[in-house]
Each structure stands twice: as C-alpha cells, then as structure tokens.
C-alpha cells in the first residue's frame, strides 16, 4: 500500500518509516517478537509478568458487569479525576482542581501526543534528554516540532548543566522531561529539575514531564517538577496506571496542568481517541487510593528485583550502571568483548536464551556511537525468572576483542 508523500516524509523524519518506506516496528515490538520466536526470556520490552493488586482488577471486572461500558466523559470519570487530585495532594502536596486541571488519557502516550500537538507550531523546538523514550522522537516529528537533545553522561547518566543551558533557547516551546528516566534508570537530581524550571521561565517554554515511573524509585522519593517553586503554572505533569498497577495493556493515563493548558490539550485529545477505558477508570481510582503499604511495597519488591538482575549481570561480566528508578538497568557488554549492542542483542537469544534492547534504540546516531555497547535489561519480572536469566547469562563466554559475535 502506498501512503501520501507528505505523510511519508514526515513519518520518515520522525523515525516511523524505514528508508525503504516500510513501517518500522518499534524496538520493543521487534524484541518481543524475537523472544516469542526463540522462547528466550524477555527482558526487552518493559512489561511485568505478574498481575497487579486484586482490588484494582476486581473493580474493572465489577465495572464491566455493572454496565460501565459506554463512553465516559471527555475529561475522564469524575471519581477518577478526584482520585488523581487526591493522589497529587497526598504524595506531593500539590493542589489540583479535579474539575478543571485533570485530564484522563489513553495512556501516558496519548497525554504526551496531545500535549505536543496542542503546544507546538511547525518548527518549534522541543528539548529532551538523550537517550529518550522512543515515542518522543516520533511524536515530536508528527507534531511538526524540531527535536533538540541534551546528552546524559556516563557513568551515572547525569546531564551537564551547561549543555542544558545551551540547548534551551527562545526557539524552545517545550522542555520534555522524563523522570525517573527510561531507559537509564536515573533519577534526575533536584538541581537539574530546578535548572529546567529556570530555563523554562527565561525562555517562556512549557515543561511537559513524563513521570510514569513516579512510584518506582529505590532511593530518595520522587520529586515532581510541578512541586518546585515557580513550576506549576507552566508544567504539564503526565503519569499512567500501567507501571504502578501492572496494567500496561489497559492504557489509562492522565495529566494535571493549569486549566488553560488542559483545555488546549483536551481540544486535541477529543479528536485522537475522544475517550477510553470506561471500566478501567474506576479501577485506577481504587488503585490510586490504595494505602501507603502498597506504594512502598512495589518499590521494595522492584528494588530486590533490580539487585537480583544487576548482580547476575555483574557476575556474568557486564559493567552495570546504577538504577535508582523505573524497571530498567543499563549494562555494558564491552567487558565481555561485545562492542556492538545491536548485534549483541540480535545474537543474545541464541547465546544465552535472553532478550534485551540495545541502548542505541533510544538514541540518535551521534550519541549512539558513544554508547554502542550498552544494553537495557528490564527487571519487572518474577524473581525466579530473573534468577534463571542471570544463570543463563552467566554462561556467556567472553569474546576475543574486536569480535562482536
Ligand atoms: N513514557 C515512558 C517513559 C515509558 O517508559 C512508557 C512506557 N510504556 C510510556 C511513557 C507509555 O506509557 P503508557 O503505556 O501509559 O502510554
Ligand atoms: N515502555 C516500555 C519499554 O520501554 C514499552 C512500551 C512499548 O512497547 N511501546 O520497554
């Protein structure tokens, strides 16, 4: 099938089409297909292999049975909006008006898409850190924006403040921040977040912040950018139930922002999906109101899983970066003699029966070159699965230097 030339050009620029004009599968879909066809343990695409809290699941089942199956209101069910506002107050001391400052979306992805489409004029610049979640590049391109990136530097994936200062200019319309950060597992320091706020003020930019891993941190508690002085009035805060409640397939997300931004974003969102997930919305409300034990429990369990996998990777010979949040850890395959993570990840199912994702999938060419041997592993799997993966990886033989296979 052929598609229109202008769409093709835009889609190619956004990395959605290969140079041959065929639709490019995301790295996650590609690697999950590889895991399925080889029977390897899938530590590539980030999705949990266990169900979330039964209260949440039972509420969705009950809602379907109770007939909550038609279009919910455009902003989202009032009770979910109330639960989101309560959550922001309870965890972060943020006061948001559930009637005007909350919008329920089809996952965080739609919240990001609708925000960018609402905010950007063609040619406006969007600054993100690099590596960046793959959808950012595609969505900025689809919205006609120009993507500028600020590298996160090894060993702990921190940005250089000067590089951040240089990237944000009067051409910047949006600073799109992901914290805690996929794929690196870094939790950005408060100084970085404060600098983002300072630069947004100086250059009159909007901060769009993707905080889907807000409850999955293993050190200091998560600090939403909107909670910093001066940030709220220009910040769109995005999250999603997928990570917190192990329901990635439900695609219920949300954003909180000043009312005029919510109105602008809703104007776009109503023509993207209009609404979604009616019976899942009350379930998310129940989840957001679960006790503190639940939230500390998921972070504690995941921290243990991080430790199991990180230890296994170290024992297998990888150099392992710290992961303070998300459910991802970055490991360097270079000490094992593998200099090209793309080839390494293609070969890994055969070498060790494990699937992972090359970090270059989250990078542009120039940055990817400096991180060519880095691999992202997901640890949102049962402990016995991670132990089995670690045992398999322990059998990896170091390659003679120069060889990639
Ligand atoms: N942002 C980041 C950083 C993610 O890792 C993901 C992962 N799935 C998303 C957004 C998408 O969230 P959702 O599935 O709620 O659209
Ligand atoms: N966020 C998940 C990851 O980073 C995958 C989401 C997707 O497949 N689009 O692995």
Q: Which carries the bigger pLDDT value, residue 275 or residue 30?
A: 275
Residue 8 confidence (pLDDT): 55
Q: Which carries the bigger pLDDT value, residue 23 or residue 233?
A: 233
Residue 370 confidence (pLDDT): 79
Q: Which carries the bigger pLDDT value, residue 105 or residue 11?
A: 105
- Of the residues 242, 247, 249, 328, which should be mutated to test ligand 1's pocket, given the most ligand atoms within 8 Å of the CB? 242
pLDDT single digits (tens) 323-373? 999 999 999 999 999 999 999 999 999 999 999 999 999 999 878 787 899
Residue 21 confidence (pLDDT): 62
pLDDT above 90 (res 107)? yes
Note whether 232 and 256 are within 8 A (CB). Answer: no
Residues 399-403, mean pLDDT to the nearest whole number: 62
Distance 27 CA to ligand 2 centre (A): 9
At 11, the pLDDT band (50, 70, 90 cuts) reads low
CATH (one of 3.90.1150.10, 3.40.190.10, 3.30.450.20, 3.40.640.10) for 54-291: 3.40.640.10
Residue 105, ligand 2, Cβ within 6 A = no
Domains 6-51+293-393 and 54-291 share a fold: no
Q: Can you give the residue ranges of every domain in the chain?
A: 6-51+293-393, 54-291
Distance 357 CA to ligand 2 centre (A): 11
Note whether 205 and 173 are within 8 A (CB). Answer: yes
Residue 46, ligand 2, Cβ within 6 A = yes
Residue 220 confidence (pLDDT): 80
* CATH level 3 topology of 6-51+293-393: 3.90.1150
Residue nearest to atom 4 of ligand 2 (CA): 46
Q: How far is CA 72 from CA 67, 109, 238, 265, in A?
A: 12, 19, 20, 17
pLDDT single digits (tens) 30-50? 888 989 999 999 999 999 999
At 10, the pLDDT band (50, 70, 90 cuts) reads low
Residues 297-317, mean pLDDT to the nearest whole number: 98
Residue 45, ligand 2, Cβ within 6 A = yes
At 399, the pLDDT band (50, 70, 90 cuts) reads confident
Which residues approach ligand 1 with their CB closer than 6 A? 107-109, 133, 178, 182, 210, 212, 240, 242, 248, 251, 253
At 398, the pLDDT band (50, 70, 90 cuts) reads confident
Note whether 143 and 14 are within 8 A (CB). Answer: no
Residue 404, ligand 2, Cβ within 6 A = no
Note whether 247 and 108 are within 8 A (CB). Answer: no
Residue 1 confidence (pLDDT): 43
pLDDT single digits (tens) 153-167? 999 999 999 999 999
The bridge status of strand 319-320 relative to strand 374-378 is: unpaired
Residue nearest to atom 8 of ligand 2 (CA): 28
pLDDT above 70 (res 12)? no
Residue 350 confidence (pLDDT): 94
- Of the residues 139, 186, 210, 212, which should be mutated to test ligand 1's pocket, given the most ligand atoms within 8 Å of the CB? 212
Residue 31 confidence (pLDDT): 87
């Amino acid at each position: 099938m052929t598609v229109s030339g202008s769409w093709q050009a835009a889609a190619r620029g956004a990395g959605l089409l290969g140079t041959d004009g065929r639709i490019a599968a995301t790295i996650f879909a590609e690697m999950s297909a590889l895991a399925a066809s080889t029977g390897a343990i899938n530590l590539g695409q980030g999705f949990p292999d266990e169900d979330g809290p039964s209260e949440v699941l039972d509420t969705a089942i009950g809602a379907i049975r109770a007939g909550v199956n038609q279009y919910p209101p455009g902003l989202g069910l009032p009770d979910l909006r109330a639960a989101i506002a309560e959550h922001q107050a309870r965890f972060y001391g943020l006061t948001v008006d559930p009637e005007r400052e909350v919008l329920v979306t089809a996952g965080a992805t739609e919240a990001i898409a609708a925000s960018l489409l609402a905010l950007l004029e063609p040619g406006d610049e969007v600054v993100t850190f690099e590596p960046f979640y793959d959808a950012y590049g595609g969505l900025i391109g689809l919205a006609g924006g120009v993507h500028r990136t600020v590298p996160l530097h090894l060993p702990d994936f921190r940005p250089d403040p000067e590089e951040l200062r240089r990237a944000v200019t009067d051409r910047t319309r949006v600073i799109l921040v992901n914290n805690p950060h996929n794929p690196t597992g870094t939790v950005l320091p408060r100084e970085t977040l404060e600098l983002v706020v300072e630069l947004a003020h100086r250059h009159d930019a909007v901060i769009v912040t993707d905080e889907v891993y807000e409850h999955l941190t293993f050190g200091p508690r998560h600090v939403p950018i909107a909670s910093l002085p001066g940030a709220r009035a220009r910040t769109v805060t995005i999250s999603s139930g997928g990570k917190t409640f192990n329901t990635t397939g439900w695609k219920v997300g949300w954003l909180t922002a000043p009312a005029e931004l919510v109105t602008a974003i809703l104007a776009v969102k109503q023509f993207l999906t209009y609404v979604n997930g009616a019976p899942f919305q009350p379930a998310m409300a129940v989840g957001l109101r679960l006790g503190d034990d639940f939230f500390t429990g998921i972070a504690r369990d995941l921290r243990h899983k991080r430790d199991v996998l990180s230890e296994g990777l170290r024992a297998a010979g990888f150099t392992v970066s710290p992961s303070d949040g998300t459910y991802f850890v970055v490991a360097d395959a270079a000490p094992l003699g593998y200099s090209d993570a793309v080839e390494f990840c293609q070969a890994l199912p055969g070498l060790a029966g494990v699937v992972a994702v090359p970090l270059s999938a989250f990078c542009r060419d120039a940055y990817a070159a400096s991180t060519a041997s880095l691999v992202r592993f997901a640890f949102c799997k049962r402990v016995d699965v991670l132990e089995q993966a670690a045992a398999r990886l322990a059998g990896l033989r170091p390659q003679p230097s120069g060889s990639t296979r």
